[in-house]
Amino acid sequence: MGWLDEVRFDADGLVPAIAQEAGSGRILMVAWMNREALAETEASGRAVYWSRSRNRLWRKGEESGHVQTVKELRLDCDGDVVLLTVEQLGGIACHTGRHSCFYRRLDDGEWRAVDPVLKDPEVIYR
């Protein structure tokens, strides 16, 4: 059995993938991977995800230039979640132009943006 066979993909052939920043340990984003995305990530050393909205492989940074270089891949105890330790090139992981997709915090019953926009998304995605 190969390493990919140990991953428990769901009925749609996907597994959740958490991107964690090397060094800081901050969670940058959560995405999905299919078998092909995970295999390409391992082979290339760059994060490749499955875009459910586009229904195709999404090579992180292909439009924005904000590539994730993979330092380590881990699989959880149940085999159904992948953790990528990454170096986030350009310092922006989120399509909103923020460092992390987790920029909203619950304060007094409301979600509030607490992290700044580092670059206008309209400039990133022309």
Say if 125 falls within a structural domain: no
Say if 108 falls within a structural domain: no
Enclosing domain of residue 22: 3-91
pLDDT at 70: 98
Say if 41 falls within a structural domain: yes
Mean pLDDT in residue range 39-59? 97
In this structure, what CATH number is given to the domain that contains residue 25? 3.10.20.810
pLDDT at 46: 98
Say if 43 falls within a structural domain: yes
Structural domain count of the chain: 1
Percentage of the chain beyond pLDDT 90 is 94
Output the pTM of the full model: 0.93
pLDDT at 125: 84
Say if 102 falls within a structural domain: no
Backbone angles phi, psi at 33, to 5 degrees: -130, 140
Say if 120 falls within a structural domain: no
| pLDDT tens, position by position, 66-124 | 999 999 999 999 999 999 999 999 999 999 999 999 999 999 999 999 999 999 999 89
> CA torsion angle for 28, 86, 123, 111 (degrees, to 10)?
0
Say if 122 falls within a structural domain: no
Say if 110 falls within a structural domain: no
User: Mean of the per-residue pLDDT values for the chain?
Assistant: 96
pLDDT at 3 over 80: yes
